[in-house]
Chains A and B, each alone.
Chain A
Amino acid sequence: MSGRDEDFLLPDGRIVRHGNRERIVHWAIAIVFIFLFLSGLAMFSPFFFWLSALFGGGQLMRLLHPFCGVALVLLFSPYAFGLRRDNRWTPADANWVRNMFRYMNKSAHFTDTGKYNAGQKLMYWSMVPIIALLFLSGIVLWQPYFAPAFQAPVRRAAGLLHAITAFVMFVGIGVHWYAAYWTKGSIRAMVRGTVTQAWARFHHPGWYRDVTGKNP
């Protein structure tokens, strides 16, 4: 559903970076995530319990939250599976990570980045296990369907694990949002699907070469 097979050069010179299906699924995941994020926060800390009003009250919010979690897993699993090849870890990525802070203050730039840079790959490889753990611990907590099947100590451990992994996910997605905003052109790529050749050559030279056949 994504990857290089779908990325191609348009006659007007733009490059398709995210296909229609990939973009729709991405934004569906984003909406479900925000729903989960806000309702989860409400149950995480009394400071945010007022957010339950957004979901028609605490009862309805508690009822909807796990179903949204299942929706997230159903949307995310095929999406992540489709992105796996472009997120393979390479020696160049290790170099990127070593120079990460220099990249962030714009004193380093890389000429060998593929479709995704190492930061994006780290996001990908952290979200895959995090979402799996959230799903499994969420099942253990899910009243009234599954929770009664587990012993209280298991449910307590699941509650803690769910909170910790959700916290990691919130922070991770926060970084994801900022990185998208910071790297001009990437939100447009995920909304409209295309990037300019200059953008591709600058941010993802390896991918630019694969798509256009030209040397960056």
Chain B
Amino acid sequence: MALETQDIQARSATTTSSPPSARHFQPEVSKLIDLSRCIGCKACQSACMEWNNLRDAVGSFGGAYTNPPDLSDQSWTVMKFHETDIDGQFAWLIFKDGCLHCSEPGCLKACPSPGAIVQYANGIVDFQQDLCIGCGYCISGCPFNIPRLRREDSRVYKCTLCSDRVAVGLEPACIKSCPTQALSFGSRADMLFQAEHRLTDLHERGFSQAAVYNPPGVGGTHVLFVLPHGDKPEAYGLPRDPQIAPLLALWRSTVARSLGVFTMFSVLVAGILHYMRHGPLEVPGEGGEGTKEGQK
């Protein structure tokens, strides 16, 4: 772990600072998902299963191409097919669901187990299942409803952005499999630049509302979407303004928790001081528990 820990910039349930990064140059990475180019072939979904050795249970047909019907501990990315109305016209929106790798991850903030969720210096948010205690707080903490608890081992799983591949200079498995270049991977600066370039194309093609989805409420995400209908993120199943919920922020705030712990210690201190000042409350003349009558 020694070298790897130097690449961690945030660690769950850790109040002290993260390990100092002796290795300074670590560019932030991003995955760019251009939904205008996605044909819904699910090659990325298969590649994810292949690389991560995941096999979801065979489900049943639910009236749409979405299969399995939702993310699970065995399906870290799922193609979703939304049938909807946009400006009075039928639209078939294909969406690749999965972890967005927030810059300010709600899961990491919610996690009570030190180091069970880490954020690498390259921006990838990764779950360390050996430290996961299965409380599911990350599931409540996520603004995108991504992490899934595996019942068999009570640990939570989600997209790793192929941190194992990225660590050795490879692109994530889904990127490698995409036949239409809807998926790209690279440094965050490059991906943001490329996204803007794609937007220009889309605007020229008449998608005047096309936009890049990189929500500021969570400090930006390391999975960026180019949305042809950028004014309607909900149509794709994305929240319009995701953020770490205020209730969660209060619950997990260091100040509130420190205040709580401090107050509990204060009760102990107050008891000691009170006893030193006033002594025990005893029956006058009886001397409390030590009397003859009391010892019977």
Which A residues touch B114, using CB under 8 A? 46, 49
Which A residues touch B286, using CB under 8 A? 196, 198-199, 202
**Count of chain A residues near B, Cβ 8 A:** 50
Please state if B112 and A184 are interface contacts (CB–CB under 8 Å). no
Which A residues touch B139, using CB under 8 A? 143, 147, 152, 155
Interface string of B270-290 (1 = CB under 8 A from A): 010011011011111110110
With A62-B134, A143-B135 already in contact, the answer to whether A44 and B257 are too (CB < 8 A) is yes
* Docked pose: A48 CA to B114 CA in angstroms: 11
Please state if B296 and A144 are interface contacts (CB–CB under 8 Å). no
Please state if A185 and B260 are interface contacts (CB–CB under 8 Å). no
Q: Is there a chain A Cβ closer than 8 Å to B166's Cβ?
A: no
Interface string of B123-155 (1 = CB under 8 A from A): 000000001111111011110010001010010
Q: Is there a chain A Cβ closer than 8 Å to B182's Cβ?
A: no
* Docked pose: A161 CA to B151 CA in angstroms: 26
Closest A residue by C-beta to B292: A196
* Docked pose: A59 CA to B156 CA in angstroms: 12
Interface string of A140-154 (1 = CB under 8 A from B): 010110010000110
With A13-B293, A156-B248, A174-B268 already in contact, the answer to whether A45 and B131 are too (CB < 8 A) is no
A184: which of B149, B263, B282 is its contact (CB, 8 Å)? B282
Interface string of B51-79 (1 = CB under 8 A from A): 00000000000000000000000000000
Please state if B260 and A44 are interface contacts (CB–CB under 8 Å). yes
Please state if A104 and B133 are interface contacts (CB–CB under 8 Å). no
Q: Is there a chain B Cβ closer than 8 Å to A17's Cβ?
A: no
Please state if A45 and B133 are interface contacts (CB–CB under 8 Å). no
Give the residue among A13, A141, A156, A177 with the most B Cβ atoms within 10 A: A156
Interface string of A97-121 (1 = CB under 8 A from B): 0000000111000000000000000
Please state if A155 and B140 are interface contacts (CB–CB under 8 Å). yes
Give chain A nearest CB distance to B109 CB in angstroms: 11
Please state if B260 and A182 are interface contacts (CB–CB under 8 Å). no
Which A residues touch B245, using CB under 8 A? 152-153, 156
Please state if B251 and A160 are interface contacts (CB–CB under 8 Å). yes
Q: Is there a chain B Cβ closer than 8 Å to A175's Cβ?
A: yes
* Docked pose: A48 CA to B264 CA in angstroms: 13
* Docked pose: A163 CA to B256 CA in angstroms: 10
Which B residues touch A147, using CB under 8 A? 136, 139-140
Which A residues touch B288, using CB under 8 A? 184-185
A160: which of B247, B274, B283 is its contact (CB, 8 Å)? B247
Please state if A202 and B284 are interface contacts (CB–CB under 8 Å). yes
Other contacts beyond A159-B248, A163-B251: 13, CB < 8 A? A12-B296, A13-B296, A59-B133, A141-B136, A156-B141, A167-B260, A167-B264, A171-B264, A175-B267, A177-B271, A181-B275, A184-B289, A202-B284
Q: List 16 A-B contacts (CB under 8 A).
A: A42-B112, A44-B257, A45-B261, A59-B132, A104-B274, A144-B154, A156-B251, A159-B137, A159-B251, A167-B260, A178-B267, A182-B274, A184-B283, A184-B288, A184-B289, A202-B286
